[in-house]
């Protein structure tokens, strides 16, 4: 079956990044784009979309599906002083990981996947703590493309933290837990990898270099390389992380990973907000990637320089991490914070920021058939209406998209040529049913958190 989309503008690869062209149509059949041009006949299905721009499907380079819905309105204004992020928020976001709240966790995962797809994300790089089988079955059903698997160790207590005396505090059984969870991840990979015609990729990654013994880091890197998926972890995301790495390794986490031979094109490190110049150089020389989560870190008063890394040759891609799921807003924040980082209103451009969520992200995944609209590429596409009062009229569609649109303007989403959203409505997930359950899950979990003294009503 051939589908033809006739939007007002199509974003295609230009010599120096993505450019928008009017008067083009895009045809796709099965999983691939078969034509991009001015004179394309109607297909079996033809979609006219005046006022809309067709983009390569957006790629979310780092997330934890299930954590976002519960934390919204809860985690934004809390103090993380002296704690790594995951210890500070785990009293609340950790609740659904207790076995008695498994149904609630599943609903939150479904709500999170729905939010990603509905706002134009066609591919996620995900690390989640528990119930990986259930999530992979949900991802399969949802139609999204996913690089997904467990974060090790799953328990924040087993990850360890820096005590007041400068020593690392960690559960006694942490290492045993890690080894068991890694064996489970190998079995998970056997069950799920390459599902639905290769849309599902299973990975396994540490929470950060500080949370795993070196031999397990090396083993995870070996497994992910053999599986053809990135090694993904958190890197230098807070002052606490930097101090913890220094206490454990006598150097930065980046330098420690370099010593282990783990810096390379296969590495996607989330945040990297507090990298030294030497760290940036090591990562750039190795061809590694930083997943930049602009709003998440800004809420913690941590500044991520984004474009200054790119200007030093380090690849940076866009991600949400958690809580805000609208990737268009993350692209906008990355562009704005980038201007602040450089003190320049001219850089980064909207096109630079969009590339970081499309073609650059595809390169980081080693997937050259993603992140671009051209013949032979996968038909992963996002159609965004720009005719709202907030974006109209449109002189430069990429600027209008990045600076004035939101995920709510997404009209249609396709992955591998299959429609997941049509006219703003999710097709593969039952949003009204998920929404009702997510509300009940939120009410129950927040009430329990209040009861246990972990959360105060404002
Ligand atoms: Zn993260």
Residue 270 C-alpha to ligand 1 middle, in angstroms?
6
Q: How far is the CA of 206 from the centre of ligand 1 (A)?
A: 11
Return the DSSP state at 208.
Answer: B
Contact 356/334 with Cβ under 8 angstroms?
Answer: yes
pLDDT of residue 188: 96
HSE toward the beta carbon, residue 114, CA cutoff 13 A: 20
Here the CATH number for the domain that contains residue 65 is 3.20.20.140
pLDDT digits (tens, 9 = 90+) for 268-284: 999 999 999 999 999 99
Protein residues within 5 Å, CB atom, of ion ligand 1: 270, 321
304 C-alpha to ligand 1 centroid (Å): 14
Sequence-separated (6 or more) residues with CB below 8 Å from residue 156: 86, 87, 90, 94
Query: Is residue 145 domain-shared with residue 263, that is, in the same domain?
Result: yes
Distance 6 CA to ligand 1 centre (A): 37
Low-confidence ranges of the chain (pLDDT < 70): 82-91
One domain, residues 62 and 51 = no
Q: Is residue 453 part of a domain?
A: no
With contact defined as beta carbons under 8 Å apart, do 292 and 310 qualify? no
Do 313 and 407 share a domain, yes or no?
no
Q: Which residues contact 281 (CB under 8 A, 6 or more apart)?
A: 312
Give the Å distance between the CA of 348 and the centre of ligand 1: 24
Q: Are 170 and 34 found together in one domain? A: no
Residue 456 maps to a domain: no
Any domain includes 434 = no
Q: Is residue 407 part of a domain?
A: yes
Residue 113 lies in a domain: yes
What integer pLDDT is reported at residue 85 of this predicted model? 62
Going from the Cα of 454 to the center of ligand 1, the distance in angstroms, rounded, reads: 22
> Distance, CA 62 to ligand 1 centroid (Å)?
6
Q: Which pLDDT score, from 0 to 100, does residue 52 have?
A: 98
Both 37 and 68 in one domain: the answer is no
Look at the alpha carbons of 392, 394, 399, 405 in this order and tell me if their dihedral is positive or negative. Answer: positive
Residue 104 lies inside a defined structural domain of this protein: yes
Q: Find the domain containing 391 and state its range.
A: 2-56+379-426
pLDDT at 90: 66
Residue at 354 is within a domain: yes
SS3 state at 88: helix
From the CA of 148, how far away is ligand 1's center (Å)?
Answer: 13
How far away, in angstroms, is 323 Cα from ligand 1 center? Answer: 11
Q: Ligand 1: distance of its center to the CA of 151 in Å?
A: 9
**Do 387 and 307 lie in a common domain?**
no
Beta bridge partners of 10: 21, 54
How many structural domains does the chain have? Answer: 2
Which pTM does this prediction carry? 0.96
**Distance, CA 8 to ligand 1 centroid (Å)?**
36
At residue 325, the pLDDT reads 96
Residues 238 and 93 in one domain: yes
Q: Judge if 273 and 403 occupy the same domain.
A: no
Inter-residue contact 390 to 312 (CB < 8 Å): no
Q: Are residues 31 and 102 in the same domain?
A: no
Q: Residue 6: give its domain's CATH number.
A: 2.30.40.10
Residues 206 and 331 in one domain: yes
Report the separation in Å between the CA atom of 77 and the middle of ligand 1, taken as the mean of its atom positions: 18
Do the domain assignments include residue 445?
A: no
Find, among 232, 147, 230, the residue nearest to 194 by Cα.
147
Ligand 1 centroid – CA 63 distance (Å)? 6
Q: Please check whether residues 279 and 202 belong to one and the same domain.
A: yes
Q: Which residue has the tokens 């430069």?
A: 396
Same-domain check for residues 71 and 206: yes
Residues 6+ apart with CB under 8 A from 73: none
Cα of 191 from ligand 1 centre, angstroms: 25
State the angle between helix axes of 397-404 and 327-342 in degrees (0 to 180), rounded to the nearest 10: 100
């Amino acid at each position: 079956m051939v589908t033809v989309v006739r939007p007002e503008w199509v974003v295609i690869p230009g010599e120096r990044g993505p450019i928008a062209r009017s008067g083009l149509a895009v045809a796709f059949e099965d999983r691939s784009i078969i034509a991009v041009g001015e004179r394309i006949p109607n297909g079996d299905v033809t979609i006219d979309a005046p006022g809309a721009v067709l983009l390569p499907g957006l790629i979310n380079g780092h997330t934890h599906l299930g954590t976002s819905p519960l934390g919204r309105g809860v985690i934004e204004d809390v103090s993380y002083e002296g704690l790594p992020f995951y210890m500070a928020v785990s009293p609340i976001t950790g609740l659904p990981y207790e076995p008695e709240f498994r149904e609630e966790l599943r609903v939150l995962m479904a709500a999170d996947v729905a939010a990603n797809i509905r706002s134009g994300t066609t591919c996620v790089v995900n690390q989640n703590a528990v119930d990986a089988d259930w999530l992979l079955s949900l991802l399969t059903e949802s139609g999204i493309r996913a690089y997904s698997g467990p974060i090790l160790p799953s328990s924040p207590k087993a990850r360890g933290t820096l005590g007041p005396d400068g020593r690392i505090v960690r559960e006694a059984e942490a290492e045993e837990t890690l080894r068991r969870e890694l064996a489970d991840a190998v079995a998970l990979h056997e069950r799920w990898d390459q599902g639905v015609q290769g849309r599902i990729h299973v990975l396994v990654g540490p929470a950060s270099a500080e949370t795993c013994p070196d031999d397990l880091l090396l083993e995870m890197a070996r497994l992910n390389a053999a599986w053809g998926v990135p090694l993904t972890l958190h890197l230098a995301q807070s002052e606490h992380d930097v101090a913890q790495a220094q206490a454990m390794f006598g150097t930065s986490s980046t330098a420690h990973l370099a010593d282990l031979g783990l810096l390379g094109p296969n590495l996607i490190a989330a945040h990297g907000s507090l990298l030294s110049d030497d760290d940036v150089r090591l990562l750039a020389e190795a061809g590694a990637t930083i997943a930049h989560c602009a709003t998440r870190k800004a809420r913690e008063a941590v500044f991520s320089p984004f474009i200054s890394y790119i200007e030093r040759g380090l690849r940076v891609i866009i991600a949400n991490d958690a809580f805000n799921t609208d990737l268009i807003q993350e692209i906008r924040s990355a562009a704005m914070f980038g201007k602040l980082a450089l003190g320049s209103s001219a850089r980064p451009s909207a096109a630079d920021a969009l590339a970081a969520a499309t073609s650059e992200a595809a390169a980081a995944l080693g997937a050259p058939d993603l992140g671009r609209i051209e013949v032979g590429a996968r038909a992963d596409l996002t159609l965004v209406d720009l005719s709202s009062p907030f974006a109209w009229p449109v002189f430069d569609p990429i600027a209008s998209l990045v600076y004035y649109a939101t995920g709510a303007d997404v009209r249609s989403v396709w992955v591998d040529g299959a429609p997941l959203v049509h006219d703003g409505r999710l097709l593969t997930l039952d949003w009204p049913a998920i929404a009702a359950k997510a509300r009940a899950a939120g009410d129950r979990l927040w009430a329990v958190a209040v009861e246990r003294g972990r959360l105060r009503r404002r």
